Amino acid sequence: MDSFFTSRLFFISLAVVIIASTLPLYVSGYVLGLLTVAYYFGVFAMAWDLLFGFAGEVNFGPTLLIGVGAYTAGILNNQYGWSVYLCIVLGALASVVAGVVLALPALRVRGPYFGLTTLVAVLMLQNFIVVFADLTGGEIGLTIPDVITINASANYWIALGFMTISALILYGLSQSPIGLVLQASGQDPVQAGALGFNIVKHKLAAFIVSAFFSGLSGALLVFYFGTASVGTVVDVAVGVNVIVAAVLGGRRTVLGAALGAIFLIVAGEFLRPTGELATFIVSAVALLVVLFFPGGFLGAALSHEGRK
Amino acid sequence: MDTTTNNPPVLRVRGLTKRFGGLTAVKNLGLEVHAGEIFGLIGPNGSGKSTAMKSIMGIERPSGGEVIFQGENVAGLPAHKIARKGFGMVFQHSRPLNRQTVLENIMVALLPDSLFMLFPDKALTERAKWIANRVGLGSVMDRRPPTLPFADLRRLELAKAIARDPKVVLVDEPFAGLTLAEVGTFSELIRSFRDKGRAVLLVDHNVKSVAALVDRVLAMYLGEEIVTGRADEVMRNETVRRVYLGGAIETSARPETSFKDKLPLLQVENVSVHYG
């Protein structure tokens, strides 16, 4: 950890955050709005990378954790009018509960079966939302009466601050002894067990942390949007985007995942004039990076630095 | 071996059985290993020796029997609990953390099974360095595993297994893939575990390669014990010779063939690979 604070990565990150925090002074509200969403997305991707990159578990259903957090917060606000902050905290906690409920049985199965379990869980959540439309708003979406603020700059700073703090915590965890044990468990579970590590305990902890940040970010996002819908926080396609963002940015780098997410969202917006082609072009770029630079953006940069 | 047999054994295995469905891989196995003893578990491929070792370590859950460690039955406990009681295992195939250095790989083995250790202890680094030097990894501590030769990766496995100073060390096929010179060094290392008062249980398919190392040997065949005793006694045993040594124990080197006047199919010259 101490080496991190003197490393080049730290100074680059610090500079990026400082520059990013001055953006509201000279860019339009439209760009700020775009980046606000991108930052929340960045937290989704970082939380996912902790599971995949470190614990070695491919969670095909990041949107289960995101969606439960988002909808819990939204429904509580919609039904009971509780305060925004209480709803956000409860949303994150609900997400943790959902994560544990999913992980406990899912961690008993290995490899592709784990991924399949997580995927099915998302489909179930999606169905639930559509079926219980009275509560959830169904396919039309849930209207959320309250917002944190309507000031674009304030929303932007909240998102940036949240992403920065999440990045510090998640990156710190990944570089700590816990991250090492997690990585060892992901790499070779049998050996990690023989070295005296309770693998299920460590992976479950990783799941809880991942769920907490996903849920928190999901809840913050719906209070920014003022609405929650299946298409924005639950759909499998959203989950695929989170996964692509994390892989694009660089597996096992945590910070790279945030970069990947910002790239995906911003690139998607830039290509909007191309219409339906936008998704195709972004996906093609992602595919090329995954095929030819499996280390991702940051993975390539870090291994270059490591060689010096 | 009078000095060791008078003390109670550190590890006592009784009636150990492991079934996979209808197949009994290990049947009613019994053995005792004392502190400061190297015990060899030998048998041909498929004789159940590796399964027996995994069942002792808790990687496989035994179907029956007792694994008594310092008077306590640990059979049926998960591997991580058995490991914390004082067991270390050297795996045949290693999958180290490739992004971490050799030293960090050793440090992982020293970490507590805790979710709340956010900062590594300075003492751990010192201890990891000491272990690295002890197994002969002193000069490559800061390298990453993918750049290491095979023998050094095996050393890393040894280092991890003995990191927390286990009372019982289990070694799976200690010499697989090593050159003759490396076998010598590894034998020395394993002997040094014994001299430190550890109980060493090693599994090998070749009685000859471990004969000079082990104090006692148990020969297995089809999951069952054939005979236990000193290596030379076991090698003389009729059943042992018949069932798996395939007759006399002798090496037969292939006579050298001359390819002088033939064109090689594969020619390799001046190939070098640099890391770091």
For A170-217, write each residue's pLDDT tens digit.
999 998 889 999 999 988 889 999 999 999 999 999 999 999 999 999
Q: Please check whether residue B20 lies inside any domain of the structure.
A: yes
Fold type of domain A29-236: ABC transporter involved in vitamin B12 uptake, BtuC (1.10.3470)
Using CB atoms, which residue from A177, A188, A190 is nearest to B117? A177
Q: Please check whether residue B258 lies inside any domain of the structure.
A: no
User: What are A256's two structure tokens?
Assistant: 């790279």
CB contact under 8 A, A195 and B84: no
Q: How confident is the model at residue B1 (pLDDT cuts 50, 70, 90)?
A: very low
Over range A142-158, report the average pLDDT.
Answer: 90
**pLDDT at residue A47 in the model:** 96
Closest residue of chain B to A208, computed from CA coordinates: B115
Closest residue of chain B to A302, computed from CA coordinates: B99
A215 contacts: CB under 8 Å, gap ≥ 6: A65, A66, A68, A69, A70, A72, A91, A92, A93, A94, A95, A96, A98, A99
Calculate what percentage of chain A has a pLDDT beyond 70.
95
Using CB atoms, which residue from B84, B95, B108 is nearest to A181? B108
Which strands sit side by side in the sheet containing B216-221, from one edge to the other? Answer: B87-90, B168-172, B199-204, B37-42, B216-221, B224-229
**pLDDT at residue A237 in the model:** 87
How far apart, in whole angstroms, are the C-alpha atoms of residue A169 and residue A39? 15
* Residue A207 DSSP code: H
A252 to chain B: which residues are within 8 Å by CB? 99
Between B53 and A272, residue with greater pLDDT: B53
Residue A41 has pLDDT above 60, yes or no: yes
Q: What is the pLDDT of residues B169-216, one digit of tens each?
A: 999 988 888 888 889 889 999 999 999 999 999 999 877 778 889 999
CB A246 within 8 A of CB A45: yes
How far apart, in whole angstroms, are the C-alpha atoms of residue B184 and residue B179? 9
B160 to chain A: which residues are within 8 Å by CB? 195
Closest residue of chain B to A191, computed from CA coordinates: B91
| DSSP for B30-42, written as a single string | EEEE-TTEEEEEE
Between A247 and A109, residue with greater pLDDT: A247
Query: How many CB atoms neighbour CB B33 within 10 A?
Result: 26
Residue A158 has pLDDT above 60, yes or no: yes
Q: How confident is the model at residue A5 (pLDDT cuts 50, 70, 90)?
A: low
**pLDDT at residue A302 in the model:** 67
**pLDDT at residue B239 in the model:** 85
How far apart, in whole angstroms, are the C-alpha atoms of residue A31 and residue A51? 31
User: What are B209's two structure tokens?
Assistant: 């390669």
Question: Poorest-confidence range of A266-280, B17-31, B37-51?
Answer: A266-280
CA atoms within 13 A on the CB side of A101: 11
Q: What is the pLDDT of residues A234-264, one digit of tens each?
A: 998 899 889 989 988 888 888 999 999 999 8
B146 to chain A: which residues are within 8 Å by CB? none
CATH number, position B195? 3.40.50.300
**pLDDT at residue A308 in the model:** 37
Over range A17-29, report the average pLDDT.
Answer: 91
> Which residue in A235, A248, A259 sits closest to A41, CA to CA?
A259
Q: How confident is the model at residue A32 (pLDDT cuts 50, 70, 90)?
A: very high
How far apart, in whole angstroms, are the C-alpha atoms of residue A113 and residue A131? 27
How far apart, in whole angstroms, are the C-alpha atoms of residue A279 and residue B65? 60
Over range A287-303, report the average pLDDT.
Answer: 78
B77 to chain A: which residues are within 8 Å by CB? none
In 3-state terms, chain B is what percent helix, strand and coil (to 5)? 35, 20, 40
Q: b/e map of B231-249 (b: 16 or more CB within 10 Å)? A: beebbebeebbebbbeeee
User: What pairs with residue B33 in β-bridges?
Assistant: B11
What is the crossing angle of helices A29-49 and A152-175, to 10°?
Answer: 20
Looking at chain B, list the stretches that DSSP marks H as alpha helix, in order from N- to C-terminal side: 2-5, 49-57, 79-86, 102-110, 122-134, 150-162, 180-195, 207-211, 231-236, 238-240
Question: Poorest-confidence range of A122-131, A215-224, A278-287, B24-33?
Answer: A278-287
Residue A254 contacts B where some CB pair is shorter than 8 Å = no
> Which residue in B135, B113, B117, B258 sits closest to B189, CA to CA?
B135
In 3-state terms, chain A is what percent helix, strand and coil (to 5)? 80, 0, 20
Q: Please check whether residue B226 lies inside any domain of the structure.
A: yes
Query: How many CB atoms neighbour CB B133 within 10 A?
Result: 13
CB B37 within 8 A of CB B4: yes
**pLDDT at residue A299 in the model:** 74
Return the CA Rg of chain A: 19
**pLDDT at residue A165 in the model:** 96
Q: Please check whether residue B25 lies inside any domain of the structure.
A: yes
All structural domains of chain A with their residue ranges: 29-236
CB contact under 8 A, B83 and A180: no
Min Cα distance B162 → chain A (Å) is: 10
Over range B131-154, report the average pLDDT.
Answer: 91
**pLDDT at residue B67 in the model:** 95
CB contact under 8 A, A181 and B111: yes
A188 residue type, one letter = D
Q: Give how many domains chain B has, as a whole number.
A: 1
B118 to chain A: which residues are within 8 Å by CB? 1, 172-173, 176-178
**pLDDT at residue A1 in the model:** 46
Closest residue of chain B to A176, computed from CA coordinates: B118
* Mean pLDDT, chain B, whole residue set: 87
Nearest-5° Cα angle at A296, A22 to B152: 125
B139 contacts: CB under 8 Å, gap ≥ 6: none
> Which residue in A222, A48, A145 sits closest to A231, CA to CA?
A222
Which ipTM score applies to this complex?
A: 0.83
Residue A189 contacts B where some CB pair is shorter than 8 Å = no
How far apart, in whole angstroms, are the C-alpha atoms of residue B38 and residue B200? 5
A178 to chain B: which residues are within 8 Å by CB? 115, 117-118
Q: What is the pLDDT of residues A219-230, one digit of tens each?
A: 999 999 999 999
Looking up tokens 């004789």, which residue turns up?
Answer: B47
Using CB atoms, which residue from A180, A188, A193 is nearest to B104? A180
Looking up tokens 């295992």, which residue turns up?
Answer: B89
> Which residue in A223, A167, A205, A226 sits closest to A10, CA to CA?
A167
pTM of the predicted structure, to 2 decimals? 0.87
Calculate what percentage of chain A has a pLDDT beyond 90.
52
Q: Please check whether residue B77 lies inside any domain of the structure.
A: yes
A17 residue type, one letter = V
CB contact under 8 A, B100 and A201: no
Q: How confident is the model at residue A307 (pLDDT cuts 50, 70, 90)?
A: very low
**pLDDT at residue A40 in the model:** 96
Portion 269-298 of A in contact with B at CB < 8 A: none
Residue A4 has pLDDT above 70, yes or no: no
Q: Which domain holds residue B95?
A: 2-245
User: What are B76's two structure tokens?
Assistant: 């049926």
* Mean pLDDT, chain A, whole residue set: 88
User: What are A7's two structure tokens?
Assistant: 């490393």
